[in-house]
Chain A
Amino acid sequence: MFEIARHEFQHQFRDGRLTIASLAFFALLVSAIVSGWVQHAEAQRQHHAFTSEARAQWLTQGERHPHHAAHFGNYVVKPELSLALFEPGLRPFVGQTLWLEAHERPAFTNIPSEDDQTLNTGLGVVSGAAAVQMLGSLLALVIGSLAIVGEREKGTLRQALSQGVRPGVWIGGKIAGLASILAVPIVPAAVIAMVGFLLIAPADTRSDVGVRAVLMLSTNGLLILIALIVGLTVSALVRTSRAALLLALGLWISGFILAPRLASTLSSHFAPTPSLAEYNAAVGDVFDAGFDKRGGYMQQFEALRVTTLEEYGVETLDALETGYSGIRMKHLDAWSTEVDDREFARLQEVYGRQQAIRLGVSSISPFVAARSVSQGMAAMDWAHYQDFLTAAERYRREFGYQMNDLLQQRVTGERWEMDGQNADWAKVEPFQYHNPSAFWAIRQQTGFLMVLLLWLAASWAALAFVTRRLRP
């Protein structure tokens, strides 16, 4: 097999066409990685500056009512791992920053693609991962699809098989040879990327980044291997290069261009995300009407008044020595949190159904699965963004509570007016967030990983099947 692989490598090398394509691909990959590196460094610098300036603005906002301070709110930034230089994932369509404001569950509103039209110009996003996934797979599929049928057309397949070599061994050698040729541009680029990941990563996250990087790069490599095997299967099946090329292109178009869009379209059709107006209306209805035999807000407001009077043993709210406005705001936030959590859980179910549809579509497109895993390993998939959202929401509730508490402590009775000072704002701890571990990321992507491995097994089995029947 080694001899066959070596021969294939030399053959492709001397032919020159694949060598040129590989060099061009290498140049493209390195440019994408370098460009990603520069952009990542610039984005990190900008976000560090933004984080500290936004924090400074919070700390120096001056005299303000605590509730207005809660509305002024805080900005938080999702930290990115160095892997994002290779795999920016959903960033262009989500962004990194969240505004945390009173009463509002945070959602991503600073979306780069809404400002930057260059992010919507092509068939995907500019990145090393996109180059590997889209173009690397196309290259693998095309060279795989021409590899056997080309020899069949030239007659060398007949010559080779008549020598008594086992077809499986011959094709195994072909795979190894072609994979080696493909590795020429990919492996050095992967090494450069790996060096980048580890150099940029802070020392305490290096091991986690290392695990994630290996998995991310392996996933992309696996996709290319699958494309190569599928290409070879096509090549073994058909009689002419024309047919092979047609079929390979058809597979690429359907698997890499149509399937992802189909997944999005099916998701939107069969598991439609509610519009903000619908979501807010649903929250508003439950807020007013209550749920689980609990009355709506006005009833609770009245009940709160009664229990507060009882608890503090006073006749009127104005007689309270603590701030009822703060108590009321705390209760309002607690109730809206409960209502919102309930509605948000429904939204999560919608996302879950959309993910299931995507998983289903990945059974016809390994690209959908590989990209999802790759984004997950880079901490740039929806699961990671949602984890960040959850942490940010927790922080929002905490500082909202602090503001309400401040109000309760500084006024008495039903009074509302008061101003907090800079010293009060400083008591709100800065937001801290770390991306979850690599193992958490793997758990989120288990389904897609399984699909990808199934793809590998199925394509390998299909190739083995056609190999057994291989004829010149």
Chain B
Amino acid sequence: MLKAETLTVTYGSHTALGGLDLDIAEGEIYALLGPNGAGKTTTINAFLGFVDLAGGRTSVAGINVQENPVAARRALAYIPEQVNLYGWFSGLENLDYFARLGGQSYDHDVLKRFLTQAGLQEEAFGRKVVGYSKGMRQKVGIAIALAKQAKALLLDEPTSGLDPAASYEFSESLKRVSGQGVAVLMATHDLFRALDIADRIGIMHSGILQDERAAKELSARELESLYLSVARGRVHQASSGMKI
């Protein structure tokens, strides 16, 4: 459903992604781990068609992102680290607007149902978003994704800054979405959450996918150890110029 083939992105002389291959199936949750600057967000941007590729290609539900970025975006939903909404509008109005941008038009009852499914309290539906907490905004983000009825979901650090309860609720919502056959690519620093919900986990460093495992093969300690070895490798690489 989400496919990257020898994906290469450069910013000047810096290589942000160096030939990444990725294939995420329907209903699969893929967690992309890695230190800052590893290339996780660039990977998501490549699926969104927000970066120019130096090589390779990405596709969403068989649609080539580089050739037809608008159609590809129509097929996916995206929740960033910070769901950015229009502060002067209510959660309901934001959902309505973004759904229409995605080509969907719903009546208010349906929109409310999406918000409820995303876990937003009903009393907040009509309140201006400017007064929302980060968790509430993330829930509106999920509702937007639900309303879009997308085939794939891209998440960029979705639980960053959320309290444990909100993070848990978010994970549950995600599992429900995935259960409906949606392919999920989630970039995160949260090893615990990744292990909890992901089917597969990839660890990136310097634009290269260093390791990839099925989540059920790993214990929390093993994942941490694996992650740290990659991160130390980065330190090592920075001083020696060599890759691990």
Which single member of B74, B77, B84 contacts A158 (CB below 8 Å)?
A: B84
> Which 3 pairs from chain A and chain B are nearest by CB?
A155-B84, A164-B74, A164-B73
- Is A3 interfacial (CB-CB < 8 Å)? yes
B56 CB, nearest partner CB in chain A, Å: 19
A161 touches B83 (CB 8 A): no
As a 0/1 sequence over residues 69 to 90 of chain B, the CB contacts with chain A under 8 angstroms (1 = contact) are 0111111111010111110110
Does A472 touch B at the CB level, under 8 Å? Answer: yes
Report B72-112 residues with CB < 8 Å from chain A CB. 72-78, 80, 82-86, 88-89, 97-98, 100-103
- B residues near A156, Cβ cutoff 8 Å: 84-86
Q: Number of B residues whose C-beta is below 8 Å from A?
A: 29
B50 on the interface (CB 8 Å rule)?
A: yes
Stretch of A7-15, A23-31, A423-431 with 4 or more beta carbons under 8 angstroms from chain B? A7-15
**A162 touching B100 in the complex, CB below 8 Å, given contacts A154-B84, A156-B85, A156-B86:** no
The residue on A at minimum CB distance from B47 is A162
B85's partner among A3, A159, A471, A472 (CB-CB below 8 A) is A159
A7 to B76, CA, bound (A): 23
The reply to whether A166 and B70 form a contact with Cβ atoms under 8 Å apart is: yes
Given A11-B88, A163-B101, does the pair A155, B48 have CB atoms closer than 8 Å? no
> At the interface, is chain B mostly helix, strand, loop or mixed?
mixed
A-B contact pairs, 21 of them (CB 8 A): A3-B97, A4-B101, A7-B86, A7-B97, A10-B88, A14-B88, A156-B84, A158-B80, A158-B84, A159-B83, A159-B85, A160-B101, A162-B77, A162-B154, A163-B102, A163-B144, A163-B148, A164-B102, A165-B70, A166-B70, A472-B50
Count chain A CB atoms within 10 A of each CB in B73, B85, B97, B148 and give the residue with the most: B97
Produce 1/0 per residue, A162-183, CB < 8 A to B.
1111100010000000000000
> Which residue of the partner chain, among B50, B85, B144, B148, contacts A161 with CB atoms under 8 Å?
B50
CA distance A69 to B70 in the complex (A): 82
Main secondary structure of the interface of A (DSSP, over half): helix
B interface with A by C-beta (< 8 Å): 48, 50-51, 70-78, 80, 82-86, 88-89, 97-98, 100-103, 144, 148, 154
Residue of chain B at shortest CB distance from A472: B50
Q: Bound state CA distance, A7 and B100, in angstroms?
A: 11
Q: Cβ of B100 and Cβ of A3 under 8 Å apart?
A: yes
Q: Which residues of A contact B73 (CB under 8 A)?
A: 161-164
Q: Which residue of A lies closest to B83 (CB)?
A: A159
Chain B nearest CB from A451 CB (Å) reads 35
Known: A162-B77, A164-B74. 4 other contacts (CB 8 A): A7-B86, A156-B84, A159-B78, A163-B101
Which residue of B is nearest A162, CB measured? B78
Least distance between B106 CB and chain A CB atoms (Å): 13
Q: Is the CB of B80 within 8 A of A155?
A: yes
Chain B residues near A166 (CB-CB < 8 A): 70
Set of chain B residues within 8 Å of A163, measured between Cβ atoms:
73-74, 98, 101-102, 144, 148
Q: How far is the CB of A169 from chain B (nearest CB, A)?
A: 9
Minimal Cβ-Cβ distance residue in A for B72 = A164
B98: chain A residues at CB < 8 Å are: 159-160, 163
A155 to B78, CA, bound (A): 12
Q: Which residue of B lies closest to A166 (CB)?
A: B70
In the complex, what residues of A have CB within 8 A of residue B144's CB?
Answer: 159, 163
Measured between beta carbons, the chain B residues less than 8 angstroms from A162 are 48, 73, 76-78, 154
A165 to B103, CA, bound (A): 8
Check A11/B100 contact, CB under 8 A, given A162-B48, A162-B73.
Answer: no
Please measure, in the bound complex, the distance between the C-alpha atom of A100 and the C-alpha atom of B144, giving whole angstroms: 77
CB-CB under 8 A from B48, the residues of chain A are 161-162
Instruction: Please report the C-alpha to C-alpha distance between residue A226 and residue B83 in the assembled complex, in whole angstroms.
Output: 33
The answer on a CB contact under 8 Å between A159 and B84 is: yes
Q: Is the CB of B101 within 8 A of A165?
A: yes
CB distance from A1 to the nearest CB of B (A): 11
A7 to chain B, nearest CB (A): 5
CA distance A155 to B81 in the complex (A): 10
Q: Is the CB of A164 within 8 A of B70?
A: yes
By a CB distance below 8 angstroms, the chain B residues around A10 are 88-89
Query: Hey, which chain A residues are within 8 Å of B72, CB to CB?
Result: 164
In the assembled complex, the Cα of A7 lies from the Cα of B102 at a distance in Å of: 14
Kindly name the residue among A10, A164, A166, A472 whose own CB sees the greatest number of chain B CB atoms within 10 A. Answer: A164
What is the CA–CA distance of A15 and B128 in the complex, to the nearest angstrom? Answer: 12
Q: When each residue 302-345 of chain A gets 1 if its CB lies under 8 Å from chain B and 0 otherwise, what string results?
A: 00000000000000000000000000000000000000000000
Q: For the complex, give the distance between the alpha carbons of A154 and B102 in Å.
A: 19
- The reply to whether B82 and A471 contact each other, CB–CB distance below 8 Å, is no
Contact residues in A for B89 (Cβ distance below 8 Å): 10-11, 14
Measured between beta carbons, the chain B residues less than 8 angstroms from A15 are: 88
Q: How many angstroms between the C-alpha atoms of A170 and B78 in the bound complex?
A: 18
Q: Which residues of A contact B50 (CB under 8 A)?
A: 158, 161, 471-472
For the complex formed, measure the closest distance between the CB of B32 and the CB atoms of chain A, giving whole angstroms: 17
A154 to B100, CA, bound (A): 20
Q: How far does the alpha carbon of A4 sit from the alpha carbon of B96 in the complex, in Å?
A: 11
Expressed in whole angstroms, the Cα–Cα distance for A160 and B88 within the complex equals: 16
Within 8 A of B (CB), among A240-272: none
Tell me the smallest distance from the CB of A159 to a CB of chain B, in Å: 5
Q: How far is the CA of A156 from the CA of B74 in the complex (A)?
A: 17
What separation, in Å, do the CA atoms of A162 and B77 have in the docked complex? 7
